[in-house]
Amino acid sequence: MSIRVLLADDQALLRGTFRLLIDSCEDMEVVGEAADGQEAVDLARTHRPDIVLMDIRMPGTDGLAATAAICDDPGLAGTRILVLTMFETDEYVAKALRVGASGFLGKYVTTDALLAGIRTVAAGEALLSPGATRALITRFLTAPAPGALLAAPERLNDLTPREREVTVLAARGKSNDKIAEELFLSVLTVRSHIQRALTKLGARDRAQLVVIAYQTGLVRPTSPQS
């Protein structure tokens, strides 16, 4: 079954380039194109894509508002948002992650990275490189923002000690393989702990789990390593 992708970008040339690239892959297809955020929301409700490739800056309803609308719609629980951005828009990326985006890519990403990113997010993983997001987390995800918390601190009480431990390591950017190695567990067991933590915290995917871990204080930002 192919990965169904909706493109949301106000640049027709860029949408066309992405369409040609994505449609050339046997395991994915473009199901629609939107030129602004409201059209993206409408087409998402019509086509129910697996992935929305979402530009942040668009006229009218921008990508941030569209991301929030899609992630808040119970009928689109299976749709994940992959944000396209320039790195100087870190604050917008952080806001997108707060409202439910599953990850982000630079707008002029390489072909291989774009396709890998779509597959990663479609599989339920977060596209959050530890190196690329360290400053983002330190600067924005832990900053006070009324109503931005995805889970109240007391909600962490539902996690078992092992689930907390696994969540902390995931929030620090470690892969399932690295977590399994560090805790002397199987990768399957790590996945099970991650999935239970997602369920208990009401997180859509691993990206939201990272946001929750930082915003509830389960994990504290550290100074970048030199």
pLDDT tens, 7-58?
Answer: 999 999 989 999 999 999 999 999 999 999 999 999 999 999 999 999 988 8
Rounded distance between C-alpha atoms, residue 131 and residue 136, angstroms: 10
Q: Predicted confidence band at 194 (pLDDT cuts at 50, 70, 90)?
A: very high
Note the pLDDT of residue 197: 93
Note the pLDDT of residue 152: 62
Instruction: Identify the domain boundary among 96, 127, 158.
Output: 127
Q: What is the mean pLDDT of the chain?
A: 83
Smallest CA-to-CA distance from 159 within 109, 100, 202 is with 202
Quick check: is 40 in a domain?
yes
Note the pLDDT of residue 128: 61
Q: Where are the beta strands (DSSP E) in the chain?
A: 3-8, 28-34, 51-55, 80-85, 103-106
Instruction: Identify the domain boundary among 127, 155, 172.
Output: 127
Domain that holds residue 85: 3-127
Quick check: is 142 in a domain?
no
Q: Name the more confident of 176 and 148.
A: 176
Quick check: is 20 in a domain?
yes
The residue-averaged pLDDT of 132-148 equals 54
Q: Predicted confidence band at 134 (pLDDT cuts at 50, 70, 90)?
A: low
